[in-house]
Chain A
Amino acid sequence: MAEVKDPSDGVQIDLISGERMDGLTSMEKIRLILDGVRDGNIVILEEGLSPDEESRLIEVTMTEISPDEFNGIEIETYPKSEAADASLLDRIMGKESTKKLTVIGPANQIETLHKDKNLISALVSRK
C-alpha cells in the first residue's frame, strides 16, 4: 500500500474495495487490517467482513494486544447486517450478504462520537 510522505503530517486512510478483499482468505483479510491498524492507519472496508471473520478479528486482536504498544482496535459498522434479513433459502443457497461499510482504527486514535442505525460519527486523532 502506498505510504504518505511523512506519516507525522497526518493520519493515513486506506480505503479497501470489496473487489480487493474478495480474493483474500479470512486470515489474509484480518492480517491486512491489523497490519494497517498497527501502523496507525484508519482502514475503511467497502464491504466489511462476515460475522465469522469479525469473530476471528476480535480473537486475533486480543492475542496481539501488548501493554504500552497496542491497545486493540475500534471498529464501526451500522447496527443491523443484511444477513439477519436474508431469507432462509438465500442463506441455504449461500447468497447471504454481509456487505456493510466498516471503519477500523487503533483504539487510541479513533473515538466514536455518535452512532445509530444509519449514521456513524467518529473522531480520528493523530498518533
Chain B
Amino acid sequence: MGLLTNLKDSISRAASTLFSEEDPKRIGIYGPPNAGKTTLANRIARDWTGDAVGPESHVPHETRRARRKENVEIERDGKKVTIDIVDTPGVTTKVDYTEFLEHDMEKDDAVRRSREATEGVAEAMHWLREDVDGVIYVLDSSTDPFTQVNTMLIGIIESQDLPVLILANKIDLEDSSVQRIRNAYPQHETIPLSALEGDNMDEVYDKIAEYFG
C-alpha cells in the first residue's frame, strides 16, 4: 500500500512539474552577429530585474557563451509572466580570425576570440535543439534579412514547433526597413524596436507575454 501511495505521489509531483504555470520558460535570443541581441537582453533584464546580462560591443562575437538570466518577471495587464532569458552568441557558418585584426586586436587575441566564437556558436545550436522553450529572433533592420543563416535558423526553429517572435531592431538607424523583414518572413509577426534607445519596448513586452506567457 505504501509503495502504491509513493508511486501516486511521485506521479502527481511529476505532473505538477510538467504542467506547472510557475515554471519559467527558457526563451533564447537568437540572430546573426551584431543584431543587438545582448543590447536587447540587457534592456529586458534592466527593465525588470535591475541587472544586466553581459557586455555589449560593436565588435562581432562579443558574446561567446550562452548567458542565462533567470526568473525575469514581466508584468502585463496585471498578469505576471516569468521567463529565463538566454542570450546566445550570433550564429554564423564561418569565423575568420583575420576579421578581428581589423578591430585593433593582436593575432593571438584574434585567434583566441575566433576559437571561443566557434565554440559559442556550436553551444547556441545545441541550446536551440535541446534547451529552449521559445525564441526571440533579433534582426538588424538596417541590413538585408535574406541571408542563409536567417533562413536556416528560422527553418530550424519552425521545424521544432517553437514559438518565435521576430524583432526588427535598430529602427533608430537611417537605413532601417522593417517592411523588408516583414517581406522576407511573412509567416511570422515582426515587431519593430530599438533596444539601444528603448523605442517600442511596450509592444515588445506585450508580445513576449502573449507568445511565451
Closest to A96 in B: B159
Query: Which of A5-13, A22-30, A39-47, A64-72 forms part of the interface with chain B?
Result: A64-72
Q: Check A73 against B159 for contact (C-beta < 8 Å).
A: no
Number of A-B contacts (CB under 8 A): 91
Task: Report A31-58 CB contacts with B as 1/0, cut-off 8 Å.
Answer: 0000000000000000000111011101
Please tell me which one of the listed residues A52, A55, A81, A112 contacts residue B148 in the complex, with CB atoms under 8 A apart: A112
In-complex Cβ contact of B94 among A73, A80, A81, A83 (8 A): A73
B46 within 8 A of A: no
Category for how many chain B residues contact A: 20 to 34
A: contact size bracket: 20 to 34
Chain B residues, Cβ within 8 Å of A67: 97, 111, 114-115
Contact assessment for B187 and A75 in the assembled complex, using a CB-CB cutoff below 8 Å:
no
Return the chain A residue nearest B110 by Cβ.
A67
Given A72-B92, A72-B95, A84-B187, answer yes or no on A77-B152 (Cβ-Cβ < 8 Å). yes
A62 to B146, CA, bound (A): 22
Asked if A72 and B151 make an inter-chain contact with CB atoms under 8 angstroms apart, the answer reads no
For the complex, give the distance between the alpha carbons of A63 and B152 in Å: 19
A58 close to B121 (CB less than 8 A)? yes
B196 contacts the other chain (CB 8 A): no
Nearest CB in chain A to that of B145: its residue: A79
B156 with A62: CB separation less than 8 A: no
Q: Does A19 contact B (CB under 8 A)?
A: no
Q: Which of A69-124 contact B (CB under 8 A)?
A: 71-81, 83-84, 96, 107-108, 112, 115-116
